[in-house]
Structure 1
């Protein structure tokens, strides 16, 4: 079975976090077709992302997608068997190494002891009966004999182990190679089917669209849900925007929401790499863990604007709008204490992350107070971004070594957005109280 050794470059990680949401926001604002149609680009995208399990066939309502399922399951089974065989092989190989080291060590010891045994026996025989020299020679002779007897016992045990383990090791190696080849052939079969479907997808899309009914039927459940939403008068996100701060919070919230789609693709890749190619990544989990942390911080202002935060409103909900505004105005003191503390501590964390002397970055020198701000700006050049010997501040401790300082600065951005949204909410409460309706 082929393996994967791809490691996501740091620059691609950051470019993906910026470019993907922008593209997604542009596509989401395109006018939607009035009639439901199957899309050729979407079919190809599904084939690329999930073709190995036939998702593109299921999308186009083709039951031939079921052909992919048993092949894919066999790949998983073969990889599991190969993994078990590799574990057994590793255990036998360790036992063989121990036995071989024992043979090498004990053979030299036994040979050395046997070579000196005659001299020790002669020294014992020539020593005066009952003398100290005879007792000393006897002890040396006894140690040599013990070394020989124990060494021969260990040699016998080691030779037995080698004789027993060698065929088992070879059997485990053969089993591992068999299952690896079987999984590889099954994977190549799926690739061939996907390549064939890439040619057939345009025709499958036309056939699926031709099979669509002329008028789209709406189920009773969908009709009831639409009626309930209309009756409740649910607000759209755009209905919350009253000023530029609100629009900024909405934009940032929508921007980071598409990061969840990135996580779907990344974790899908991680699962395929781990269970199909036996090549788990060293970056997927950490990259998504850090991404969701940044998403949580940036989306705070959006959640505050759209009132998505969890709160206990047993007493708050029945109040009139002016009284709610008074409550919000009085409790905003605690909010600004929290948001201000978040901003200050985030700034400290961000500056400390930049100041870590992990490279000769001029920005790190500025953060440590070694140079002034003007000197830092004047010294910035392309080499500060392209020189592999320059590292900007704090990095992660695992093999991926992604820079952590951008995440710390996202904390600052999130705190600023939260404070701005708090100011917007404060101004709305003041206007509501002034109106007094």
Structure 2
């Protein structure tokens, strides 16, 4: 333990030790959507047990506060692509999980608190993708039939050929509209999560980075924390704590423009099979993606931007999204997702007192709260009494 550790007994008062570090029933690592949700549902199950959340950053470090704020569950091109690679049953199970997760998030946080906007989303198709589009077009009745089974809604997907005129895009041939997707305000969502956590007598300690787990001890950069149970909810950062699991970090880079007068673009948009995505927010365009340009380099937990990907985002803005509109970039950032060979999340008991809810596959908004709920009930079912 470092001599300057905040967990060194000489650094903490009796009150601090008692309140935050003694007799912890559940230590949750990661203050994102999954970590917060797990804590909330554990509190419902165990009203008096001590629940502590630790987070490596001064703010959540993964994607929970850095995402684009899409309530997406599956674009037509993603479904088409996945049906070529995975079992049909698995593809629709994934869509169902995302839809049910979004419903759970709306129930937990509330549409007003999420600042939910049911704009729908557009899956943009270029001339290079027209051959694939023709195949997708034939499958839309089938997709709608399957979505009806999941959502009880008719005609989720339909063709929209008017996107260039409607939004001022260039070189977009057509699009597939998904009327059930939309947008939320990520910061508002996180603020409500934090208020709920505080109201339920759960403490969140920021600036403590978990490095290794040994039995009931979590070794951090600030010292050792002992707890009866440990719950890993760090998603893309989880590999360093549980190397046995199939999960890798996946960095996503994002830019946002300065406010643009008379901005025509309203809604959520997917481009290039979902590798790029953009939306309007506060009269700006928020645009992310491009990880496919350099998958190897983007398999990292380093929060930084690269010239290759930022240049591609700017080029997309200039040539496709805002071809006739002057714009300036105001800010750029990155977030870390967790991916693997499968799109299924990992929700499991690893050993007697260690659990995890990870591998959200870039769908944290859609499935994060539901993973937390399922993880809490797994702990109840299999945990130490």
TM range (shorter): under 0.3
Which of the pair is proportionally richer in strand? 2
TM-score in terms of structure 1 length: 0.20
Higher relative contact order (CA closer than 8 Å, sequence separation 6+): 2
TM-score in terms of structure 2 length: 0.22
Pair member with larger Rg: 1
